[in-house]
Structure 1
Amino acid sequence: MGFLDIRNVTKAYGNVQVLHEVDIEVEEGEFLVLVGPSGCGKSTLLNMIAGLESITSGDIAIRGRPMNGVHPSKRNIAMVFQSYALYPNMTVAQNITFGLEMHGVPKSERDKALAEVAKLLQIDHLLARKPGQLSGGQRQRVAMGRALVRNPDVFLFDEPLSNLDAKLRVDMRTEIKKLHQKLKTTIVYVTHDQIEAMTLSTRIAVMFKGYVQQLGTPKEIYDQPANLFVATFMGSPAMNILPATVVTENGAAHAEITDAEGAPRRLRFSQQAMAQWAGRKVLLGIRPEAITDPEGADRKSGNIQQLRNRVTVTEPAGSDTFVTMTLSGKDVIARMRADANVVPAQVFDFAINMDKAVAFDPETEARILA
């Protein structure tokens, strides 16, 4: 049993089911991120943990205590909303301590908790201001302070950074991670941003169409995606997906694809068990960073395959250069070093790390476990 247990939870509005038998155990001190596109059910699940939405079937428990039917105020959770939800007529100090005051906490204890949280979040100098006098990042810190001051069992974050500009999002992401590492709190965090999910979490639940597609660590999700949706949703740029046919050559399994000229080319799989798929179609998945120039290839890999192909587009991006080529009729992106000497229309020797390649069943879209 976990610290927060979500057992076979479903949610339906009339005949429309929006969550399907969600089953997640969250251990104490974990940072679980629910990630997926809009409408996948992640915010609905968060609201059910908070008690803002009823459970159609299944159970939610915190510290072994069933939460079904328990009022939100009795769950000992704290929620940080996308909109911050601050009272505009109250000062920062009043916003942070208002919940404590409503629960009858003595003023001396409120003042002590306020001082500790304000110092932790570095907002001591803002306590006398009102929300209208604060920047977006400052308002976000106040909303976090209001949650922290209560010392709840579980913190719930509902896309808290989506209203911030790009640079401030990165800064606040770092602050939230540092805060979690310092306080060891249990957090469930909702976002549609897969970079936030990868950088913040100890575990990720990737959601789509009301189902948890995969639950695992960021590394598991990234390196061993359970299906085609997870593979293409997680990662930027997205994983390259190529139609291929499995063929055997000298007893080894290869993915047969075509180059920019339409000529057949073969890439040897690292997994010998792929030979079981000989003669069948698969979808070959290769991350952009697994395709580079020979000098930039991973020296620890035991299966670097060279492929000569024509370059279509190059995109310098500061620390990296993204190079596009055509394979099996699809645009394929390679991620190379900033100083890689590659130009459009050039015929170039690409190095492909097949140790990092995965394959999917084109019918079920599930990863082939080989």
Structure 2
Amino acid sequence: MGFLDIKQATKSYGAVKVLHETDISVEEGEFLVLVGPSGCGKSTLLNMIAGLEDVTSGDIAIKGRSMLGVKPADRNIAMVFQSYALYPNMTVRGNISFGMEMHGLAKPEREKKIEAVAELLQITQLLDRKPGQLSGGQRQRVAMGRALTRDPDVFLFDEPLSNLDAKLRVDMRTEIKKLHHKLGTTIVYVTHDQIEALTLSTRIAVMYGGHVQQLGTPKEVYDNPANMFVAGFMGSPSMNLFPAKVAQANGAPAAEVTLRNGETALLPFAGGSMAGHDGRDIILGIRPEAITDRDGADRNSNAVHMIEATVELTEPAGSDTFVVTHMGGRDITGRFRADVQVEAGDRFPFAINMEKAVVFDPETEARVA
């Protein structure tokens, strides 16, 4: 039994089921991120934990106690919203204090908590300002400060950074991660941003179509995606997914791929995987960082194979250069070193690390190797 247990939880609106049977057990101190595209059911699940939505069937329990029929105010949870939800006519001090006043906490204790969270979040100098005088990042810190004074069992974050600009999002991600390390609190965090999910979480639940597609650590989800949706959704740029066929290369199974000019190339599978599947149509998945220039390839891998292919496009990105070629009828992106001299139209040797390749069934889209 976990600290927070979601057991076969579903949510339906009439005949429409928006969240299918969901099982997730969250340990105390974990940082679970629910990630997926709009409409996948992640915010619905968060609202069910908060008590803002009823559970149609199944159960949600916190510290072994079922939350069915328990009002949001009685769940000892704290929620941080996308919209900050601050009172514009109150100062920062008033906003942070308000919830404690409603719970009847004595003023000396309130002041002690306000000072503590203000110092923790570095907003002491803002306590006498009103929300209208604050930046987006400062408002989000105030919203977090209000939640922190509750000392809840579980923190719930509903896309808290989506209203911030790109640089501020990165800064606030760092602050939230520091906060989690310092306090060891249990957090359930909703986002559609997979980079946010990978950088913040101890575990990720990737959601799509009302189902949890995969639940695991960031490394498990990134390196070993359960299906093509997870493979394509997690990572930026996303995993390259392209058709291939299982063939033989020097008596060992290999992926046969078609290049832009109609030529075919063989990429032997690492460790003899896919043996006995000759002639099978597959979808090959390879991350951009496993497709690079010769000198940038992993020197510790024994499964790096070279393919000479035509460069379609180059995209300088500061520390890297993304290089696009064509395989299996799809554009394929490789991550090259920034100083590699390569131009569109060049015939160039691509180093492909097949230790990092994964294989999917084109019919079911499930992973097979």
SS of 1:29 mapped into structure 2: coil
Shift of 1:249: 3.0
Question: 1:183-206, CA deviations, whole angstroms, 9 ceiling, x for partnerless residues?
Answer: 010000000000000000000000
SS of equivalent residue, structure 1 residue 40: coil
Q: Distance in 2 between matches of 1:34 and 1:204?
A: 6
Match of 1:358 in 2: 358
Q: Distance in 2 between matches of 1:338 and 1:264?
A: 29
Q: Report if the CA contact (8 A) 1:96-1:142 is conserved.
A: yes
Indicate conservation of the 8 Å contact 1:88/1:132, yes or no.
yes
1:101 corresponds to which letter in structure 2?
E
Deviation at 1:250, TM superposition (A): 3.1
In structure 2, the partner of 1:303 is: 303
Deviations 1:13-57 (CA, angstroms, capped at 9, x unpaired): 000000001100000000000000000000000000000000000
Residue in structure 2 matched with residue 194 of structure 1 by the alignment: 194
Q: Which amino acid aligns with 2:228?
A: L
TM-score (norm 2): 0.99
Query: How do residues 169-318 of structure 1 correspond to structure 2 at under 5 angstroms?
Result: 169-318=169-318
Structure 2 stretches lacking a partner, 5+ long: none
What pairs up with 1:139-158 in 2 under 5 angstroms?
139-158=139-158
CA RMSD, 1 decimal: 0.7
Q: Whole-Å Cα distance in 1 between the matches of residues 250 and 289 of structure 2? A: 28
Cα displacement (A) at 1:349: 0.7
Matched residues, number: 369
8 A Cα contact 1:5 1:60, kept in partner: yes
Residue 276 of structure 1, CA deviation = 2.6
1:338 matched residue in structure 2: 338
1:276-311 Cα offsets, whole Å, 9 max, x none, are 321110000000000011111001111000001111
- What is the rounded CA distance, in whole Å, between the counterparts of 1:171 and 1:185 in structure 2? 20
Residues 246 and 281 of structure 2 are in contact (CA less than 8 Å); yes or no, is this contact kept in structure 1? yes
Tell me what 1:62 maps to: 62
Q: Secondary structure at the match of 1:84?
A: coil
Among all aligned residue pairs of Structure 1 and Structure 2, give the percentage whose two residues are the same amino acid. Answer: 71
SS at match of 2:178: helix
The Cα shift of 1:341 comes to: 1.5
Q: Secondary structure at the match of 1:152?
A: coil
> What whole-Å deviation, never above 9, does each CA across 1:215-259 have from its counterpart, x for those lacking one?
000000000000000000001111111100001233311000111
Give, in whole Å, the separation in 2 of the partners of 1:160 and 1:75.
Answer: 21
Q: Distance in 1 between matches of 2:36 and 2:221?
A: 13
Q: Any idea what the Cα deviations from partners look like across 1:91-149, whole Å, max 9, x if unmatched?
A: 10110011111011111110100010000000001111111111101000000000001
SS in 1 for 2:363: coil
SS in 2 for 1:276: coil
SS in 1 for 2:312: strand
The ranges of structure 1 where at least 4 consecutive aligned residues each deviate by more than 3 angstroms after the TM superposition are: none
Distance, in Å, in 2 between the alignment partners of 1:95 and 1:301 is: 55
1:335 offset after TM fit, Å? 0.4
Post-superposition Cα deviations, 1:306-364, rounded to whole Å, max 9, x if no partner, equal 00111111111100000000111110000011001111111111100000000000011
User: Take 1:303 and 1:273, find their aligned partners in 2: how far apart are those partners?
Assistant: 12
Q: Tell me how far apart the structure 1 counterparts of residues 167 and 300 of structure 2 sit (CA, whole Å).
A: 35
- The equivalent of 1:329 in structure 2 is 329
Matches within 5 A, 1:27-176: 27-176=27-176
**Paired residues of 1:303 and 1:355 also in contact (CA < 8 A):** yes
- Whole-angstrom CA distance in 1 between matches of 2:133 and 2:273: 63
Contact 2:249 2:266 in 1 (8 A): no
SS of the residue corresponding to residue 93 of structure 1 reads helix
- Superimposed CA distance per residue, residues 53-109 of structure 1 (whole angstroms, 9 cap, x where no aligned partner): 000000100011111110000000000000000011111011001111101111111
Q: Is the 8 A contact 1:291 1:350 kept in 2?
A: yes
The answer (yes or no) to whether the contact 1:38–1:192 under 8 Å persists in 2 is yes
User: Do the aligned partners of 2:7 and 2:59 also contact (CA within 8 Å) in 1?
Assistant: yes
Q: Read off the aligned partner of 1:156 and give its amino acid letter.
A: L
Structure 1 position 275, deviation (Å): 1.6
The letter of the residue matching 1:4 is: L
Conservation of the 8 A alpha-carbon contact between 1:262 and 1:328: no
1:25 equivalent to 2:36? Answer no
SS at match of 1:128: coil
Q: Distance in 2 between matches of 1:271 and 1:313?
A: 32
Letter aligned with residue 226 of structure 2: A
Q: Distance in 2 between matches of 1:141 and 1:29?
A: 21
Once the 2 structures are TM-superposed, how far is the Cα of residue 271 of structure 1 from its aligned partner?
A: 3.9
Structure 1 segments unaligned to the other structure (5+ residues): none
